[in-house]
Amino acid sequence: MFDLNNLLRENIKKLVPYSSARDEFKGEAKIFLDANENSYGSPLIKWYNRYPDPLQIKVKEKLQQIKGLPVENMFIGNGSDECIDILYRALCNPGKDNVIICPPTYGMYEVSANINDVEVRKARLLDNFQLDLVHLETLVDANTKIIWLCSPNNPTGNSLDREDVEIVLNNFPGLVVIDEAYINFSRYRSFVQELSEYPNLLVMQTLSKAWGLAALRVGMAFASQEIIEVMNKIKPPYNINQASQELVLKALDEVEQVNEMIRTIVQQREAVVAKLGQLPIVQKIYPSDANFILVKVNDAKGTYNFLLEEGIVVRDRSKVELCEGCLRITIGTEEENAALLERLREINN
């Protein structure tokens, strides 16, 4: 069924990747005169004059302990957005191939497709924000390379039914990407443990949300070794900078601290949901497995503007199909959430 060779673009199959100085010499040496770096140092207290590890092995070894996955099954991108772009460039012939997305969902799947001149087919989610498998199936043809699933989904906040995702994995011969950016906030378990079962599965996660490292730009893709090898071939040689690698390495030692933040955010989410439910302007609060909630209010645009005048910015999703009249609200600190609720209580329409 799944054969990566049938999916890859011809130019990528033939591609001879750039071989950097760090690729060609990996050993220990006293004097490095191979990469045209500045041996005198950097105009900083700490030096950043040497190119970083192209494959981020130290970071991956630490991730291996946390995720229980071999280094060979990991790719690290400059944010998940780089992973998304690389998959298009690996698999999709511009002007010929297509992918399927399930809106309302994360915007980058479509933007990145447009940048790469790849057709996007849309299997809109059902009213309960679950997959419409019947519609989805009708969209697949011989040129469909990727199905993008996002669970928990942004902006709706719900997890996709596991059985539905399994049906897609079992029946689609192309690549199934499950974007788990919000998995740490979810009641459900990750698909990472199913990688050995599904050769067509790629799971994306990120350090931008639960790990609180959005500014460092570190996104992860977990997949079979053959898929990871192709991604490594395509990526810019030094896609994760040295400062990010060092800081991530330190941060990954603090799993307990992160778990504590996750517990707090989930508690705050439930508290905000309970209090929002008492407000007259709130029509509906959608169940969330993420660090945000989708809320239907009487006057979304008006509420958005009112909050903005009070210095509180939320995401206006009211023009998005199936999210009509909705705001997407990230769960903040206890104080931030209290300020939000206080302002919302002042509205009475």
Ligand X SMILES: *Cc1c(COP(=O)(O)O)cnc(C)c1O
Contacting positions for ligand X (CB under 6 A): 79-81, 106, 150, 154, 179, 181, 206, 208-209, 214, 219
218: nearest Cα among 56, 22, 61, 18? 56
Question: CB 260 → ligand X: shortest distance, Å?
Answer: 21
Question: CB 223 → ligand X: shortest distance, Å?
Answer: 16
Q: Which is nearer to ligand X, 78 or 200 (CB)?
A: 78
Question: CB 280 → ligand X: shortest distance, Å?
Answer: 30
3-state secondary structure of 321: coil
Separation in Å, CA 349 to CA 293, 300, 304, 316: 21, 12, 14, 18
Question: CB 155 → ligand X: shortest distance, Å?
Answer: 8
Q: Which is nearer to ligand X, 100 or 281 (CB)?
A: 100
Could you tell me where the beta strands, DSSP code E, fall in the chain? 74-77, 98-101, 119-122, 144-150, 175-179, 201-206, 219-222, 282-285, 292-297, 315-316, 326-330
Paired sense of beta strands 292-297 and 326-330, if any: antiparallel
Question: CB 219 → ligand X: shortest distance, Å?
Answer: 4
Q: CA torsion, points 33, 39, 42, 48, in degrees to nearest 10?
A: 40
3-state secondary structure of 173: coil
Output the CA torsion sign for 172, 166, 285, 329. Answer: negative
Asked if 44 contacts 64 with a C-beta cutoff of 8 angstroms, the reply is no
94 DSSP assignment: T
Within 8 A by CB and 6+ apart from 117, the residues are: 94, 95
**For residue 296, what are its two tokens?**
């239907």
Residue type, 223: A
Question: CB 208 → ligand X: shortest distance, Å?
Answer: 3
User: 17: cis peptide before it, omega within 30°?
Assistant: no
Question: CB 80 → ligand X: shortest distance, Å?
Answer: 3
Q: Which residue is nearest to ligand X (CB)?
A: 79
Asked if 89 contacts 230 with a C-beta cutoff of 8 angstroms, the reply is no
Question: CB 133 → ligand X: shortest distance, Å?
Answer: 21
